[in-house]
A and B are shown apart, each in its own frame.
Chain A
Amino acid sequence: MPHIICLAKQVPDPETPASQFRVDEAAKRVIPAPGIQPVPSQFDTIGVEGALRIKDKIPDTTITILSLGPDSSRDTIKHCLAMGADEGVHINDPAVNEADHWATAEVLAAAIQKLAPYDLIIAGRQAVDWDMGVVGSTIAEILGVPVITIGKDVQYENGVVRVERVLMDGFETVEAPTPCVVTVSNELGEPRYPQLRQIMLAARKEVKAWTVSDLGIPTPQNRTKLEALFVPETKVETEFIDGDTPQEKAEKLAGRLREAKLI
């Protein structure tokens, strides 16, 4: 029976309107927009979707959701359990609240080793907060297993994973022996939405809470330092093209582009 570990991170809602996006420059963090709840990073729920498609074909697959984050990250785990995953592990430890991508990978890799044996580790191609896109690959290197990045389709059978990858101008299909790390992209498709019955079932599924000391590793020290976080200035003067009819606006616009020698 295959064991798939899916990594899931909770992030500020990326749909937060730009007008409500604020940064605390002194604390170097994003100020949560009032009334907007954090959400699971979408590439990660797409990863859970990929795992569930394997479980749809191989029903005795076990899917474990692994998340590192503060108390509220439990909601992200519960969301993934309600999608149909089986169990959750929440690494909740103030010592790694400020973990950089490397320290995050180090902690998650140790947790994965504690959850062994495993066949597949699936993660989003990047978390939609920091957009770094390195945790999956770094974990693969720490664990010494192969990695296939930016997948749009993940098939698993008899110790082999076959992934269709998104390239800049096309696609490629790559195979690797498991255990293996796979990161997935939005081209995989929409993650399924939890149904009411699933949400009720998820309430009874176990979420283990671990700290770094449960993992048998020393608290990893960050390898990067965040020196500054700010909202970049956009200095564009916008001319709204007016006109009584769409025709007038359209012709005026074309005229402007001609004047600017852009057409």
Chain B
Amino acid sequence: MPSGVLVFGEATEDGKLNPVTAELLGAAQRLGGPITCALLGAGVEGLAQECAGFGAQKVIVVDDPILAEYQGDAYLPPAVRITKEVDPSVVLLPQTMKGRDLAPRLAQRLNTAVAMDCVAIEQQSDKLIAERPAYGGSARARYTFNGSPQIVTVRAKALEPAQARAGAQAEIVKQPAGVTPDQVRTRIIDRRKEKAEGVRLEDAKVVVGGGRGMGGPEAFGQLEELAHILGGAVGASRAVCDLGWYPVAAQVGLTGKIVTPDLYIAVGISGASQHMAGISSVKNIVAINKDPDASIFKASRWAVVGDWKDIMPAFTAKVKELKAS
């Protein structure tokens, strides 16, 4: 009889525990039952204790050089093996680049299904209810599963993280990947980072977002100036990135980054649901838009109807003055 929750934890590129792991473990605690955390990667062994602190009773570590760079073909065999071994009722993965690639394949290999990008999960009698945005965030859908295990990927920053408890003990088990190079059919030829300066978009307390209404790439200098004064970062709508006005890495939205600043200042952004999906948990949204019917206003706490070209210089100057006082 399957029981409990298996969480696939994740490490960041610089070898820390991705905060989404604590969110998954928090969700696992609320679901109930034994919690196992699997950590797959290279150089991840040191993170096992941290997972214990977040409530995992058992941590299965697969620390293997073949997992140094994410490739689905390499991650799948240990992920399938661990899931079969643990025999959980629920499997949680993060909706990250790795999680979104791995989860559907894991589901198929286990003859079950997955609900992706969920923002709420709860246990109702013996069924898991997984709630996720659909139609670019215009709708919400709730799913149950006909098979087992019930696999869910969870959107970052959607769920309450587990609180770290010092001195928590867990059984830590090391396993080999058990993958041979010939099982990995893909080959990474090259990987390059887009240069990010200043505050990371995902960590920023203030994000200044620019949309198609900015009119061109040069206009983003003004947003950068404001972001700099506020110690924040600049984001962009998908349209802006598709037009090549701003780097793809700054894209905020359903197919870009999910951001959770205390303050989001949307400039020249109409509020397409695909963009709103990236700021859905932001409480304080300011919108500056010359179209009084722009849908972004509906989600905004403060709205300014006007041309950003007229508003922004005065706004930036005032912010600078207030910051200095």
Chain A residues close to B by CB (< 8 Å): 12, 14, 17-18, 21, 23, 30, 100-102, 105, 125-126, 128-134, 137-138, 140-142, 146-150, 162, 166-177, 185-187, 189-190, 221-232, 234, 236-241, 246-247, 249-251, 253-258, 260, 262-263
Contacts and interface: CB of A to CB of B under 8 A. Distances in A.
Q: Closest 5 CB pairs between A and B?
A: A223-B113, A134-B104, A246-B310, A250-B314, A254-B318
B112 A223 contact: yes
Contact of A236 (B262, B300, B306): B300
12 contacts: A12-B135, A141-B104, A146-B73, A169-B194, A170-B191, A172-B192, A176-B186, A190-B242, A225-B143, A241-B304, A250-B312, A257-B286
B95 to A, nearest CB: 9
A227 B145 CA distance: 10
A125 B255 contact: yes
Contact of A176 (B144, B185, B206, B299): B185
Nearest to B109: A141
Given A12-B135, A254-B318, 5 more contacts: A131-B132, A166-B248, A168-B249, A187-B248, A231-B140
A3 B133 CA distance: 35
Contact of B146 (A224, A239, A256): A224
A147 B105 contact: yes
Contacts of B303: 238-241
Contacts of A21: 135, 138-139
Contact of A175 (B147, B189, B298, B315): B189
Contacts of B314: 246-247, 250-251
Among the interface residues B241, B255, B319, which one has the most CB atoms of the partner chain A within 10 A?
B255
A254 B230 CA distance: 12
A217 to B, nearest CB: 15
B171 interface: no
Contacts of B194: 169-171
Given A30-B135, A258-B322, A263-B323, A174 B302 contact: no
Interface in B188-207: 188-194, 196, 206
B300 A134 contact: no
A47 to B, nearest CB: 14
Interface of B: 13, 71-73, 96-97, 100-101, 103-105, 107-109, 112-117, 129, 132-136, 138-147, 185-194, 196, 206, 230, 238, 241-242, 248-249, 254-255, 257, 262-263, 271, 273-274, 284-286, 295, 297-307, 310-315, 318-319, 322-323
B246 to A, nearest CB: 13
A234 B298 contact: yes
Contacts of B192: 170-172
Contacts of B145: 223-225
Given A251-B318, A260-B284, A132 B188 contact: no
A18 B295 CA distance: 7
A83 to B, nearest CB: 18
Contacts of B273: 14, 18
Given A232-B139, A257-B263, A238 B300 contact: yes
Given A133-B100, A241-B303, A222 B146 contact: yes
A23 B139 contact: yes
A98 to B, nearest CB: 13
B142 A14 contact: no
A241 B302 contact: yes
B189 to A, nearest CB: 4
Contact of A226 (B133, B141, B322): B141
Contacts of B284: 260, 262
B96 to A, nearest CB: 8
A128 B286 CA distance: 27
A254 B109 contact: no
A176 B141 CA distance: 35
A225 B263 CA distance: 37
A186 B242 contact: yes
A147 B72 contact: yes
B307 A232 contact: no
A187 B185 CA distance: 24
